[in-house]
Amino acid sequence: MRSGGPLRWLFLDFDSYFASVEQQEHPQWRDRPVVVVPLEDTEAAGTGAIAVSREAKALGIRRGMRLGEVRAVCPGVHVASARHEVYVAWHHQLIREIERHAPIDLVHSIDELSIRLGRSQGRPKAAEALARGIKNGILRNVGECLTCSVGLAPSRLLAKLAAEMDKPDGLRILLPGDLPDAIADLPLEEIPGISRGISRRLARAGIRDVSGLWKLAPKQARAIWGSVMGERFIRALHGEDVDPPPPGPPKSFGHGRVLDPARRLPETAWPVACMLLLKAAARLRRREMVAGALTLSVRWLKSSGDAEGHHRHGRDDAAWEVRFPSTSDSFVFLRHLERLWSRCGRVAHRRPDPRMRNIYVHLHALEPESARQLDLFAQTDLKVRERERLWAEIDRLARRFGSRTVEPASLKHLDLKYAGAKIAFGRIPEAEDF
């Protein structure tokens, strides 16, 4: 439905979301600098901040700073270890409140969402009234610390940009007549969709500011981006209501963890890797898909020279992959993970420091379960079907009685609280993921 005015999109961005939730749950931390770190060991100086409150930002503390640096800037900073299940619970409360005011078009991440404005909401006064109603509803019905910044604009891209221009707790309207002057002073890297790689491509084309970007023809942008995304970007920047096509089926299912210090060696991290794989496999089956490949990736705690037998993604990264006939059988996945883990262990023990910081497990080479061809008269395929039905029943029990109702005996004594911090910022976990 086309808007009755120049505004078509509302973009909402929660301010310092993880840190704000911690302040909401700890009244004594309100109006004080707070950082959130991924590990239970909040005293480890090398731990990096994954979220920073507005009070800490005002002191110059930024996301990614090591805890030692943070304490040097502000010795009295409050440090919280990440509690993703808590952030997800608050997220769903916020979603319920926002949907009282308007239907949500898309939840982009745990702290961002967008709303397509209806015909009666497209004029500035009506759109602003909606935005303020959402803000007041969150204040009254959810929590005073959970503020948000809102952008209103003709395109979703401009609405997101508007929200980022007026933080925290801001409200910015970008009208067609405001452009490009309202955004002319922004660095290119601050415009959503301009990555470092695209910025370098633009620079090679002689474009180093918003003025030059604004003058790009859509066909020129397509050539610079190397895809139709460049053309869509320029048209959206000019205020056209151009959205990319809806996302296709998932290309992979995966999970990652920052490891607790007690689980950084291969022998102690193995149960965590199994747990991550079983979660990914359960999500795969929920979508009625099968996988034909498994990748294990690790990030080592310290730098060292190249070790033979692994593929380098960066100075401290390694990854291994195995392919197999498509299946959704977790027993098959675990068997292949064990092979990859052996390779990881051999590399680890050749390193001066074998400890791992992060591990990631991904199932990929996906296809719908219905598209897979099996020989129903082959004994092996009959066994595959039987085991897949077994895992489907295990999934059903997990949904009804809890995610750990049935699990391998080797994981029974694994305390998830100390398994490490979840790495889940762009995906909103489902209840059974915890």
Note the pLDDT of residue 420: 46
Q: Is the pLDDT of residue 85 over 90?
A: no
Task: Give the number of C-alpha atoms closer than 13 A to the C-alpha of residue 181, restricted to the C-beta side.
Answer: 4
| pLDDT above 90: residue 154 | yes
Cα 298 to Cα 358: distance, rounded to the nearest angstrom: 6
pLDDT at residue number 180? 94
Q: Region 350-366: what's the mean pLDDT?
A: 94
Using 50, 70 and 90 to split pLDDT, how confident is the model at 301?
confident
CA distances in angstroms from 343 to 104, 165, 322, 369, listed in the order given: 46, 48, 11, 30
Reported as a single tens digit per residue, the pLDDT across 106-127 is 999 999 999 999 999 999 999 9
Say which of 40, 43, 85, 112 is annotated catalytic.
112
For every residue of 333-352, DSSP letters joined together read: HHHHHHHHHHHHHHHHTTSS
Burial state string for 41-51 with b = 16 or more CB within 10 A and e = fewer than 16:
eeeeeebbbbb
Higher-scoring residue by pLDDT: 431, 366: 366
- Does residue 381 surpass a pLDDT of 70? no
DSSP 265-311: SHHHHHHHHHHHHHHHHHHHHHTTEEEEEEEEEEEESS-----TTSB
The Cα 292–Cα 323 span in angstroms is 6
Among the residue ranges 19-28, 43-52, 67-76, the one predicted with the least confidence is: 43-52
CA distance 328 to 367: 10
User: Average pLDDT of 154-181?
Assistant: 95
Single out the residue of 423, 255, 273, 424 nearest to residue 348, CA to CA.
273
- 14 and 148 Cβ atoms separated by less than 8 Å: yes
Q: Which of 23-32, 81-90, 239-248, 399-408 has the lowest mean pLDDT?
A: 399-408
Structure confidence at residue 38 as a pLDDT band (50, 70, 90): confident
- What is the average per-residue pLDDT within 151-158? 96
- Domains, the chain, with CATH or none: 1-176 (3.30.70.270), 179-247 (1.10.150.20), 252-433 (3.30.1490.100)
pLDDT at 375: 45
Model confidence at 308, in pLDDT bands (50, 70, 90)?
very low
Say how far apart CA 393 and CA 326 lie, in whole Å.
20
Is the CA virtual torsion 65, 66, 70, 76 positive or negative? positive
Instruction: Using pLDDT thresholds of 50, 70 and 90, give the confidence band for residue 312.
Output: very low
Q: Would residue 112 show up in a list of annotated catalytic residues for this protein?
A: yes
pLDDT value, residue 232:
93
- Return the pLDDT at 206: 94
Q: Is 364 helix (H, G, I), strand (E, B) or coil?
A: strand
pLDDT at 364: 96
The model's confidence at residue 87, banded by pLDDT at 50, 70 and 90, is very high
Calculate the alpha carbon distances from 87 to 16, 127, 255 in Å.
12, 28, 17
Residue 140 has pLDDT above 80, yes or no: yes
Note the pLDDT of residue 310. 39
Whole-number average pLDDT of the chain: 85
Confidence grade of residue 370 (pLDDT, cut at 50, 70, 90): confident
> Residue 49 has what DSSP assignment?
P
Q: What average pLDDT score do residues 137-151 get?
A: 97
Each residue's pLDDT tens digit, 269-300: 999 999 899 889 989 988 889 999 999 999 99
Least confident of 1-5, 176-180, 338-342: 1-5
Which two tokens mark 59? 């002191």
**What share of the chain has pLDDT > 70, as a percent?**
78
From residue 129, alpha-carbon distances to 24, 107, 117 in Å are 26, 21, 12
pLDDT above 90: residue 170: yes
